[in-house]
Amino acid sequence: MPAKHKPAPATAEHAPLQLEHFLPYRLSILSNTTSQAIADDYQSRFDLSVTEWRVMAVLGRYAGLSAREVAERTAMDKVAVSRALARLVAAGRVDRATHAEDKRRSVLHLSAAGWALHDEVAPMARMRERELLTKLDAEERAWLTRILDKLLAGSG
C-alpha cells in the first residue's frame, strides 16, 4: 500500500501566487471565457474548433500565409495550427498552393467554402465582442485599446 503524504501547509516561508490578482492569469481567463462563448455559437453548428476558426480568421485577414506565419500571427502552437490546417484543407475550407517563386513553400488561402463559413462566423464573433464591450463606456474602450496595444507591443 503506497505511503500517504500529507500536503505541506502554506506557511510564512511560502508566497502563494494570488491568481485572482495576477494579470496574465486574469487575461487568460477573460480570453478563454470569451473564446468559449463565441465557440459555443459555432462549434456544433459548423463542426469547427476554436483553433480552426482562429486559423480561418487569420487567413481571412492575411491571405497567402505559410503555416509557420499563421502560427506566428495566432501565437498558437505550430503543431496545433498544422493539425487545424490539415482538417481545414481536408474539409475543403482552406486551399494550399505552392508559392510562385519559392517552390518549397506552400501558401494558404480560404476556399470559396471557407469564405462562406467565415462570412457566417465572423458576424457572430463581432456580436460577442460588442456584448463584452458594452460593459465599458467609450472612454474605457479607448483606454483598453491603448493599454492592450502597449502590452502587446512589449510582449515578444
Instruction: State the cell numbers at 23.
Output: 494579470
**Residue for grid cell 481545414:** 88
How sure is the predictor about 15, in pLDDT bands with cuts at 50, 70 and 90? confident
Decide: pTM greater than 0.85: no
| Tens-digit pLDDT profile for residues 53-83 | 999 999 999 989 999 999 999 999 999 999 9
For residue 120, CA distances in Å to 78, 87, 111 come to 26, 19, 14
Domain 40-151 has CATH 3.40.50.300: no
Return the residue matching grid coordinates 513553400.
105
Instruction: Give the model confidence (pLDDT) of 103-149 as tens digits.
Output: 778 899 999 999 999 999 999 999 999 999 999 999 999 999 999 99
